[in-house]
Amino acid sequence: MSNIKLENVRLLDPVEKIDLITTVYLKNGKRVESLEHIDESIDAQGKWLMPTMVDLCARVREPGQQQHGTLKSEGKAARENGILHVITPPDSKPIVQDNGALIHGLIEKAWTDGQFHLHIIGAQTQGLMGKQPANMAALKKGGCTAVSNANASFEDDDVVIRTLEYAAGLGLTVVFYPEEAQIAKDGCVHEGFIASRQGLPMIPAIAETIAIAKYLIMIEATGVRAHFGLISSGKSIELIEAAKAKGLPVTADVAMHQLHLTESLIDGFNSLAHVRPPLRSEQDKQQLRLAVKSGVIDAICTHHEPLSSSAKMMPFAETLPGISAFDTYVALGVQLVKEGLFEPLEWVEKVTIAPAQVANMLERWQAEKGWVLVDPDLQWTLEKKSILSSGKNTPLLNQTLTGKVVQTFLI
């Protein structure tokens, strides 16, 4: 906790729409106009100062899966990479997210152990079994602003409609990770030439688009506010764009790795590229990029899923899906800027204020956001020993990346 002067820094403030090389004063992590005394003066020439980030989808594994990661390890990885608010789906094991009291305790533990703000999406159905609505009133009382059935399927569409009506009555957002189970079945990779050549079971893009189309009809009928997470298909964008044009209360996000990586990485049965939804085609990647740029997709998330080394050592189809993403998030964002997709402030908006708005936590984020100093030209090699997360499962291992958080200033 100190008074800091940053000179020659490029201030990227999405709240005030500022993109300016200037001198910034921070008092205990808050930006102020001036300081009576200065504890530390930093020449930040060439560096960017941006708010801490909000992640709409990350799994921190605890409780129940500590072999892959803990609140302490993943909290440290998130915080030191500039992510202060982490939103997690309701599918930890054992599932505690259909109990408001337990949710409150887990949120407190995240701050105590990992010094990060954990936000838990409540279970949409009891135990995520897809049969009966969860006690959403208790979930809301416990602090949840959204519910989801995560990757679990529903027994039938009537259950979906009843849960949407229930959520709408309570003012809760419903988060969908869209995938039609009957089409995806036991698939693990994108339907295409590479998967066919390797004989791997496939998940066609239509599994996602059919689910979105069906849910959009239900959203319109019930009036519930809905968010589509982890969009991976270019065809899905058309449906979301049409829904927004129609005035439906719908938002969407995409994982950062879907904006960079494609199905080509699964060649040679590279299990580090096994993620769900799967890495798709080059055309899908380009369409996703344009959708984020235009605002059809509102925000970018990490989709961080740390896994132990043994989880990726079986035959490809039997490995657990997931990519450890906290440690590469900023570098991949900087790459989007350097490739000309975004101006720096545009990228900052997609990982800060936009996800905060989607998550209904804009005021809270503004009150406690803190600041992050990024060196956009710092080149570094991603090695297992340099990854702060317990999960070293990333197809970017041993690659040279550019851009990194070099200092955080938290409130």
Residue ranges and CATH numbers for the domains of the chain are: 50-369 (3.20.20.140)
User: Residue type at 367?
Assistant: A
Q: What is the pLDDT of residues 205-246, one digit of tens each?
A: 999 999 999 999 999 999 999 999 999 999 999 999 999 999
Q: Are 388 and 81 in contact (CB under 8 A)?
A: yes
Q: Are 406 and 81 in contact (CB under 8 A)?
A: no
User: Residue type at 24?
Assistant: V
Could you tell me the two tokens for 254? Answer: 């995409």
Q: Against a cut of 0.95, is the pTM above it? A: yes
Residue 211 DSSP class: H
Could you tell me the two tokens for 288? Answer: 């996703």
Residues with Cβ within 8 Å of 327's Cβ and at least 6 positions away in sequence, in order, are 77, 81, 382, 386, 387, 388, 389, 394
Q: What is the pLDDT of residues 314-371, one digit of tens each?
A: 999 999 999 999 999 999 999 999 999 999 999 999 999 999 999 999 999 999 999 9
Region label for 40, one of left (φ > 0), alpha (ψ between -120 and 50) or beta (otherwise): beta
pLDDT of residue 96: 65
pLDDT of residue 102: 80
Nearest-angstrom CA–CA distance, 366 and 63: 29
Residues with Cβ within 8 Å of 108's Cβ and at least 6 positions away in sequence, in order, are none
The band of 304, judged by pLDDT with boundaries at 50, 70 and 90, is very high
Higher local confidence (pLDDT), 357 or 62: 357
Q: Where are the beta strands (DSSP E) in 179-291?
A: 189-190, 202-203, 226-228, 250-255
The closest of 84, 74, 85 to 388, measured between CA atoms, is 74
What average pLDDT does range 378-393 have in this prediction? 98
Q: What is the pLDDT of residues 80-106, one digit of tens each?
A: 999 999 999 999 877 767 777 788 888
pLDDT of residue 103: 86
pLDDT of residue 394: 98
Could you tell me the two tokens for 229? Answer: 């997470």
